[in-house]
Structure 1
Amino acid sequence: MIVPTDLRSGDVYDTTPDFIYAVSLIAALEGATGHNGHATVLPYLGMARAELTDFGQRRPAHYVPVHISDLPAGLADLDERLTALLADSPVLQHSLRIDAAQRLLRRGVAAVA
């Protein structure tokens, strides 16, 4: 017998301020198109965001405005935020996703350098 499923039932909106800021920072970095190296790091930011949000299964409850004045400084800030998120993560699945996001971010930073 076929049982109807709600595809959105797995969505989890995370209200943690650190998670919300990290995802907002990634969105701001993705939108910082006028900076040198942006095109190189953009695919890595997208992959890092996908990992951090567990491919849509963990969503920020909202976004906060983040201003990017310097791409390398923004990337360094994101790396620090991910390190803090990883240190405070009590859920193994989230820890693995944060670690994967940080690795992708670091590959992007290395590609820009």
Structure 2
Amino acid sequence: MSVPTDVRAGDVYDASPDFVYAVSLLAALEGATGQDGHAMVLPFLGMARAELTDFGQRRPARYVPVHVGDLQTGLADLEERLTTLLANSQVLQHSLRLDSARRLLRRGVAAVA
């Protein structure tokens, strides 16, 4: 028997600045076409974003503008931010998603290298 859940529209939005910046940086990296290695890392970025946002169940409250000058530097910055988010995570589900997103990101970095 299924148990009804109380889903409120505001529950999926996460306004924490670190999460918002990480998702915004990820979106900027996805949009950084023309950078060397972008095509190789793009599928991994998409999978990492899906994990980070819990397949749409956790969304940023808004996006912030992020400039990506160099793909490699942006990828390293994203990994650092995911590591910090993981270290500070108090919710097991978020921790698992962050760890998975970070592993996918590392696979993408390895594919470019």
Q: Same fold (TM over 0.5)?
A: yes
TM-score, normalised relative to structure 1: 0.91
Correspondence for 2:22: 22
8 Å CA contact retained: 1:45, 1:108: yes
Correspondence for 2:80: 80
Q: How many residues align?
A: 109
The letter of the residue matching 2:51 is E
Q: Which runs of 5+ in 1 are unaligned?
A: none
Aligned CA-pair RMSD: 1.8
Distance between the aligned counterparts of 2:62 and 2:10, measured in 1?
A: 18
Q: Which runs of 5+ in 2 are unaligned?
A: none
Correspondence for 1:104: 104
Distance between the aligned counterparts of 2:70 and 2:10, measured in 1?
A: 36
8 Å CA contact retained: 1:21, 1:64: yes
1:42-72 C-alpha deviation (Å, 9 max, x unpaired): 0000000000000000000000000000000
The letter of the residue matching 1:36 is D
Change (3 A) 1:10 1:62: closer
Name the SS of the counterpart of 2:55 in structure 1.
Answer: helix
Structure 1 residue 41 displacement after superposition: 0.2
TM-score, normalised relative to structure 2: 0.91
The letter of the residue matching 1:61 is A
Correspondence for 1:48: 48
1:20-56 C-alpha deviation (Å, 9 max, x unpaired): 0000000000000010000000000000000000000
Name the SS of the counterpart of 2:68 in structure 1.
Answer: coil
4+ residue runs over 2 A deviation? 5-11
Correspondence for 2:31: 31
Correspondence for 2:91: 91
